[in-house]
């Protein structure tokens, strides 16, 4: 019999053989059983502890109920599990797994921070604190891969930087209109690292920037990355790949002075179009002969009006063929200092295209663009915490190697490994978390658990 405090529903007749009653009466249960994995991964990386270490708590000690570390963990774990807004805190305040993840007793522990508490926390962040926290994320990611690969095994580290549009809706500070994107927006800058010939691009930084930033902040971020990477991997050659919005002389001069390899896209103009004309004619002739798409590569020495000197520019003369359409010319250009063949240089540049998948995961899987606060600093804090949540997901995916989750994206990892029904039992000596016997992704879950210290 249902009571006022025990919700109950009954499915009668079809579609079931017998009446089915559903009672919401299971105390100390959670739909986020996989939070145990995130908690263990975070403990191995020390990520949230490092982030919280960059904050200075200026609250009155006698009035504090939730430590800075607890609030950082609550937001990072919440973002990872799909709770993008502070409003979700009201639904999770007494969730036993979320309390356990914050080192509280899952049964009698105090409720988690409320929406007003989290909102005040986000809006109290200062710019210096954001800088310290960004350094903490960078240091954590680099230290993790140094332990994984060792100092001597890393021969090349490729740094990819990519901006992405973050549309704004309201009166957000430092939001600007962009004719290119056709909306008011912010322009976050994302940075990833690729080690040796691995395919994974590991997020190392997520920085929210005003909507009119262009290449602003790029040199400062790269300078910090170069220093940290060279101290951690002294034998590694650094390589930078950028899209066409970064191809200004100050940045190119900086990269050359830093002694790094670079491949940077270059927008077309009348001078470059003239230089690629002959190569494009050969490509069109080849297409007329074969009827197929074709791409030919060449190079030239070129200096834009504001460049300090001429640089090597690789040209791609491509004829694109789509069914039902006329052939289309698609010339492309990259400026580089790599001593490779033009075709090889362009292949190196093309490999940065996987960055779009990282952006898609961050936006669709972790709501990177949920920057709905009016204050810019609060929105920048959200972007940074979202980046931290993604670092945990990439570590989760790496530890699920050779399982059905090895190549899964964020939303699939969350669905398979984190959104698991759990029932919590607590005794004097231990806490037992019961998961379903029929859990379909149990082998992958157990493998990840073993890699972070769980034993049979």
Total domains in the chain come to: 2
Helix (H) or strand (E) holding 379: helix 376-399
306 against 76, higher pLDDT: 76
Q: What length does the chain have?
A: 456
Confidence band of 235 (pLDDT split at 50, 70, 90):
very high
* In a domain? residue 10: no
* In a domain? residue 103: yes
Q: What is the pLDDT of residues 320-363, one digit of tens each?
A: 998 888 889 999 999 999 999 999 999 999 999 889 999 999 99
Count CA atoms closer than 13 A to 174's CA, side-chain side.
Answer: 18
Strand-pair partners of 156: 237
* In a domain? residue 319: yes
* In a domain? residue 167: no
Q: Which of 60-69, 132-141, 271-280 has the lowest mean pLDDT?
A: 60-69
Q: What is the pLDDT of residues 62-108, one digit of tens each?
A: 878 899 999 999 999 999 999 999 999 888 999 999 999 999 999 99
Query: Are 304 and 270 contacting, i.e. CB atoms less than 8 angstroms apart?
Result: no
The pLDDT value given to residue 2: 43
Confidence band of 301 (pLDDT split at 50, 70, 90):
very high
Confidence band of 5 (pLDDT split at 50, 70, 90):
low
CA distances from 453 to 35, 47, 399 (A): 15, 17, 12
The pLDDT value given to residue 1: 40
Q: Which of 7-21, 216-230, 281-295, 334-348 has the lowest mean pLDDT?
A: 7-21
Query: What number is the average pLDDT over the span 305-321?
Result: 94
Q: Is the pLDDT of residue 19 over 90?
A: no
Q: Is the pLDDT of residue 187 over 80?
A: yes
The pLDDT value given to residue 218: 93
Query: What number is the average pLDDT over the span 194-219?
Result: 93
Query: What number is the average pLDDT over the span 209-231?
Result: 94
The pLDDT value given to residue 4: 53
The pLDDT value given to residue 171: 85
Same domain, 326 and 410: no
pLDDT exceeding 70 applies to what percent of the chain? Answer: 99
Q: Is the pLDDT of residue 431 over 50?
A: yes
Query: Are 387 and 188 contacting, i.e. CB atoms less than 8 angstroms apart?
Result: no
Boundary (domain end) residue, out of 285, 311, 330:
330
The pLDDT value given to residue 449: 95
Angle between helices 115-123 and 376-399 (to 10 degrees): 110
Q: Is the pLDDT of residue 246 over 90?
A: no
Boundary (domain end) residue, out of 330, 346, 366:
330
| Exposure string over 341-362, b if 16+ CB within 10 A, otherwise e | ebeebbebbebbeebeebbebb
Query: What number is the average pLDDT over the span 137-164?
Result: 95
Query: What number is the average pLDDT over the span 139-143?
Result: 97
Helix (H) or strand (E) holding 21: strand 20-24
Q: What is the pLDDT of residues 372-398, one digit of tens each?
A: 899 999 999 999 999 999 999 999 999
The pLDDT value given to residue 6: 63
Same domain, 32 and 120: yes
* In a domain? residue 172: no
Which domain does 281 fall in, by range?
269-330
Helix (H) or strand (E) holding 177: strand 176-178
Please state, rounded to an integer, the average pLDDT across all residues of the chain.
Answer: 93
Instruction: Enumerate residues 6+ apart whose C-beta is below 8 A from 452.
Output: 37, 40, 41, 43, 44, 399
Query: What number is the average pLDDT over the span 7-26?
Result: 82
Boundary (domain end) residue, out of 283, 307, 330:
330
């Amino acid at each position: 019999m249902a009571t006022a405090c025990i919700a109950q529903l009954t499915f009668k007749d079809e579609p079931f053989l017998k009446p089915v009653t559903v009672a919401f009466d299971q105390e100390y249960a959670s739909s986020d059983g996989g939070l145990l994995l995130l908690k263990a991964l975070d403990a191995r990386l020390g990520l949230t502890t490092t982030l919280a270490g960059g904050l200075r708590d200026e609250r009155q000690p006698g009035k504090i109920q939730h430590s800075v570390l607890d609030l950082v963990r609550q937001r990072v774990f919440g973002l990872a599990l799909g709770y993008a807004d502070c409003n979700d805190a009201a639904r999770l305040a007494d969730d036993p797994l979320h309390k356990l993840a914050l080192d509280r007793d899952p049964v009698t522990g105090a409720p988690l921070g409320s929406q007003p508490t989290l909102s005040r926390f986000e809006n109290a962040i200062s710019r210096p604190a954001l800088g310290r926290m960004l350094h903490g994320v960078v240091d954590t990611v680099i230290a993790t891969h140094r332990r994984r690969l060792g100092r001597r095994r890393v021969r090349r580290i490729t740094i990819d930087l990519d901006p992405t549009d973050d549309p704004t809706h309201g009166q957000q500070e430092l939001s600007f209109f962009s004719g290119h994107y056709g909306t008011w927006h912010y322009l976050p800058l994302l940075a990833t690292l690729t080690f040796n010939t691995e395919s994974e691009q590991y997020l190392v930084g997520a920085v929210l920037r005003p909507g009119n930033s262009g290449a602003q902040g790029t040199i400062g971020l790269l300078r910090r990355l170069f220093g940290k990477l060279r101290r951690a991997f002294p034998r590694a050659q650094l390589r930078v790949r950028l899209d066409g919005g970064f191809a200004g002389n100050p940045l190119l001069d900086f990269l050359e002075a830093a002694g790094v390899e670079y491949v940077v896209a270059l927008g077309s103009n009348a001078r470059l179009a003239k230089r690629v004309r002959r190569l494009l004619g050969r490509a069109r002739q080849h297409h007329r002969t074969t009827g197929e798409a074709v791409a030919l590569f060449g190079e030239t020495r070129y200096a834009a009006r504001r460049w300090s000197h001429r640089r090597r520019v690789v040209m791609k003369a491509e004829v694109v063929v789509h069914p039902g359409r006329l052939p289309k010319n698609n010339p492309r250009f990259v400026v580089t200092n790599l001593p490779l063949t033009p075709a090889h240089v362009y292949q190196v540049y093309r490999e940065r295209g996987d960055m779009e998948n990282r952006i898609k995961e961050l936006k669709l899987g972790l709501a990177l663009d949920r920057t709905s606060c009016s204050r810019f600093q609060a929105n920048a804090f959200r972007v940074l915490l979202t980046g931290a949540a993604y670092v945990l997901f990439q570590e989760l995916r790496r530890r699920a190697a050779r399982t059905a989750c090895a190549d899964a994206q964020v939303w699939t990892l969350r669905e398979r490994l984190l959104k698991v029904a759990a029932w919590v039992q607590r005794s004097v000596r231990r806490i037992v978390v019961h998961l379903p016997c029929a859990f379909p992704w149990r082998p992958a879950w157990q493998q990840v658990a073993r890699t972070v210290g769980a034993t049979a």
